[in-house]
Structure 1
Amino acid sequence: MGSTCARIAVDAMGGDYAPDTVVAGALKAVNELEAKILLVGDPQQVEAAIERHGSSSALDIVPATDVIGMHEEALSAIKRKPQSSIGVATELVKRGEADALVSAGHSGATMAASLLRLGRLPGIERPAIGGIFPTMVPGKQVLVLDVGANVDSRPRYLEQFAGLGAIYSQYVLGIESPKVGLLNIGEEAKKGNDLTIRTYELLENNPQIPFVGNAEGRDVLSGHFDVVVCDGFVGNVLLKFAEAVGNTVLQIFQQELSHVDSRIDMELLKPTLGRIRQRIDYVEHGGGLLLGVNGVCVISHGSSQAPSIYSAIRLANEAVEREVLKKLHARYRGDNELAEDAV
């Protein structure tokens, strides 16, 4: 990208609290990331939100006349509403007018629009949503995929997820030699259901994927793995459980600290508590990158507040700056195998 600012198309109408929280998060992004934000949605509503939260010359409004509701069937809604905020934002990426898309709206519709308008990478049958989780190792994160794009998966899909995850881990998370694990109920190769047993065989016999074995549930946050692969049903349950655990831990800290001896200077604890929150709060991650489509797309939480929107835009910005899509194109061949120089 050089010195050129990334252009991020943001679905201003997506999410439970849109457009207010989306605009607030976008304003924070343009101030801190120097990114160019294209807010896609109803101009009147978006302009009103901008007036409430401030203004910036790095914010542009792109009109979209429709909104896809969370109750609508994804594929049919995208086809029926070509001028929806999700559809228009995706079209901007397709035409090269934006470098990435961020949406906290209907995740199924975002994925459907990305597949229809951007297409898949060569050799990828299904895209996967990659979720970033904290680990017990300071400064280290683990990429879990899929966390919701594919409720039903086949072994070869998981094999593809592993290859995508390894490349993302290397170039975005900065892991020189990523370790890929398969989420399972035991370490043994023959443990699990038909999906995991067959996937294990594919990963073990694929020399282009740095597979190190099964990862049990307790291993996901241990820091022993850089990438953990699973189907979207299990991954989505894992994601939402992890979010709940993070919130629970933070609440327990607050409750217990209210009983701390008043002689202890609480000001001294604030930096430590802040670091704890930063490590375990899902807000810090904002969403997941949709890996496998021919474009940069970040799917954020429907309940996202402004900090989560900002984090999602930051993730998209990092993916653009680090040329993740270019790396995936360069390292994936059409026959669904990683190139010879891949990890």
Structure 2
Amino acid sequence: MKPMKSRFRMTVAVLSALLLVTACAGAQEVGETGNTGSKVTIGLQPTATSFPIWLAEQKGYFQENGIEVELKYYPSGAAMSEAGLTGAWDGGNMGSPPALTSSQKWDMVVPGPNSEEGAIQILWGRTNDFKGKDPATVLGGGEVLVKVNSTQHYAFLGCMQKYGVAGETKPLPVEANAVAGAFTGGQGVGAMTWPPFDAEFVDNPEYVHVCDGKQAGKKIFNMLALTPAFANNRTEQAVAYVKSAYQANEFITANPDEAADLLVQYYKENGVTATKEAAQRELTGRTWPSAAEALALSKGELSSDLEDLTKVFVDLGAFDTEPDVTKAVDTGREILEQAVGESAS
């Protein structure tokens, strides 16, 4: 398996090469898709992070706000970033690490957070190992299964700091969808995972919830995203996209039971098996801000929370330098303010 650090830096190298091509072309602004009028192409990933975008289409919010959307799926935030730079999509959403690097590398516009998931990034242990013991004694010197250089890794490090074993407990690199199988197969002293991939651990007396990102004081945001061409040249449609995404968030909060059924359907369409119980845990464990709440975060603690994450990613070697978080947060605020104004009208 190629090391995650090398894979991330390869992505940065690809982005740099694509930026050179874009600069030489000169005729189009970065991220120009060629769409006109009400046509908008949305990039997303087949995870719950992008569920509100799919939901907005299901509920007719895009049509209600005057745009006609095409959804395009990508396997990761890095792949989606590369595609956005070359004009494959107008708007989308992704985790905060690729959002911040995209803002730094090609001025991708970040209107605001569309979810926060610290509470569902969970460290699981074997009950027999932890029963009657200080978690530090079990974790210290051991290995924890985790998708490295990810927000899951960020939550893992927070948990290790909480128990005073940072630097002693090592991450054992595993892809996210393989963590549960590796742990039940006997690897590691712990496993970092989230719904629906933790179904084998929930309500199973053999496993115990040891820690999570929220308990470790780590906020993990996912962000809405706009290409510069879309934000600057088709602002009305960009505002409509942002407004629709937050309408979907409000639906999730107001209708948790129906939203869970729809999340199961969304997962099924994307080849993921999930029970309604797992969907409910994922939805209630995340925070889904309204447009007004996202704006309050943008004007408040969002920058400091993201700066904490970027410092950790620099220490990990996933980021070569710290992105300018304040710039990333400030750049998209005007569009978010317009979406809030329209939502209030």
* Fold match (TM-score > 0.5): no
Higher helix share: 2
| TM-score, normalization by structure 2 | 0.31
